[in-house]
Amino acid sequence: TPVLAAGGIADGRGLVAALALGAQAVWIGTAFLVADECDMFAACKDQIVAADSEAFRISKVWTGKTVRAFQGEISQAWSESGLPTLETPHQRILMEDFLAAALAAARHDLFYNIAGQAGGLVKG
């Protein structure tokens, strides 16, 4: 049975370790988000590079489904409010107006930034 290693692999050391432990392949996600070829806002890339593994937490704030995302101002405010999230797709619909306003104001730092625990391991 082929084994695909995933999670927290962001560089050659992680790749080699996974292969040495018996994986036939690795899944690398977060590391590609900060690549020049990735069409992501610079503020979001900066959050990934500056973050540590604790900065990205599982939350339903942005979509109503569990996703690992950067715990910025909006996620923090929602958590502190005590309000429950709506089920998907209703939570996503609720957040669309906010995201449109953040985009119009060029507040890319407020966008939801879905990335893994490899934040801080990658370099921009």
pTM over cut 0.95 = no
**Which residue's entry shows tokens 């490899």?**
118
User: Whole-angstrom Cα distance, residue 72 to residue 24?
Assistant: 35
Q: Where are the beta strands (DSSP E) in 1-124?
A: 4-6, 25-27, 56-59, 67-70
User: pLDDT digit string (tens) for 54-102?
Assistant: 899 999 999 999 999 999 999 999 999 999 999 999 999 999 999 999 9
* CA dist list (Å): 42 to 29, 63, 106, 108, 118: 17, 22, 11, 8, 17
Is the pLDDT assigned to residue 104 strictly greater than 70? yes
Chain-centre distance for alpha carbon 75 = 12
- For residue 69, give the 3-state DSSP assignment: strand
> What count of residues does the chain have?
124
